[in-house]
Structure 1
Amino acid sequence: MDGIIHMTEASPVVVAFGRAAAADVRRLAGLHDHEPTTDLLEELRAQPLQDLFGLTLDRPDIAQALALLGEALDTLPRPADAAALDELAADFAAIHLTNALRACPIESVWVHEEPLRRQEAMFRVKAWHRRFGVVTDDPRDPDHLVLELHFLAELLERGLGAEAADFLDQHPLRWVPAFCGRVAARCRTPYFAGTALLTGGYLDALRDLLAQGFDRPRPARQDAESRRKEACG
């Protein structure tokens, strides 16, 4: 045995669900991965935002996030001009690059007593990667928001809904809701507020679906924000 969990055959329903959810999660990861471009903004405006997602999630928080994001897109010039793109780029940098919002997109900073990177949480995510034979050449820490979302999508694509639920409980849902709430409260543009709220709402709704479909009840939640008031200190 090589210690790696290999994909097992899943039912067509599980496969279809997993693929749709994985595509959604990867789309969310893409919204956090880079500053918005003209092409991305036009893609988002090309159809109703809810149609961009494979799963239909009828929840007020997701509807409000989509409405906020839609309003943000409507207020931008079409196509977005240099001034609008610069404003979005500055907000992206404040969230992901300069720590201006004190909302670091890395799990270790949120879930440990010291707001530092590369702590136990990172090594636990690495262990998940090894367990499922996932290799990435991305230079960011594996407990970065974007990489955690891509790994979650990998599990979903394999039809491993129970494992995806466990990973959500042990990693993203420990800190992403607090991260998204802080970003929404402190960012300057409604575009990133909507993106943050949509991400947090989607992951929470996805966990409920996994609980129903894969016999993985949700554990008692931990409030990462109450334990870590000053992220990325």
Structure 2
Amino acid sequence: MIATNINQFISGFRNILVLFVAVLLALNNEMTIGMIFAFTAYSVEFSRRSTIVINLIYKIQLLKIQSSQLSEIIHATDESSLASYFELNENYSLSARGIYHQYDKLAPLVLVDINIDISENETVLLTGDSGSGKSTFIKILLGITEPVAGSLFIGGVNIKKTGKHAIRKITSSVLQGDSLFPGTIYENITFNDNLDNIEQVHEIADAIGIHDVITRLPLGYFTQVG
């Protein structure tokens, strides 16, 4: 919208400028009325075609960016999937050792030699100033972000041996900026999973402490959200 308004303003200003110059030339007997109309017509046509070309170049550049983003997904390295360990071991403690991270190669390190042990069912509060790397560290623990150095362990086993799916199997999260999908609360909880009945949905909601809140809504689990 802003780009369109700017383009319209520039086009209008250009037309006024062209007409002003043409009138000055006509007053100095350097251009006839017919030449003014012809010049103005050619100017408008040139402007129209130039705008089309510029918009096309912009769309091509935008397409290159989108293609690059898509390419990153298509050519992403496959994660290892050694699932046998977590089918046998029930020790779900989570540890981080020597975690370092920076947002890009030229940026300063936001995380420096972070070490932590979180036992199963343990509650941990992570505090720090804004921008100190709390959210980034959480994403590293969840296997969403890859640290520049350091390792994660589940039950004492390096996730490089088990695959990141091991973390995702035992964790869930609500991150800053997350939002609900358009649809009902029921659909957001099930997310197209084949649950046998709504009682399973009730059990899930009750386990995370939102069942009573949902049931107080007029439409309950079928309230539209998102």
**Above 0.5 in TM-score?**
no
**TM-score computed with the length of structure 2 as normaliser:** 0.25
Which protein is bigger by CA-based radius of gyration? 2
Higher relative contact order (CA 8 A, sep 6+): 1
Greater strand proportion:
2
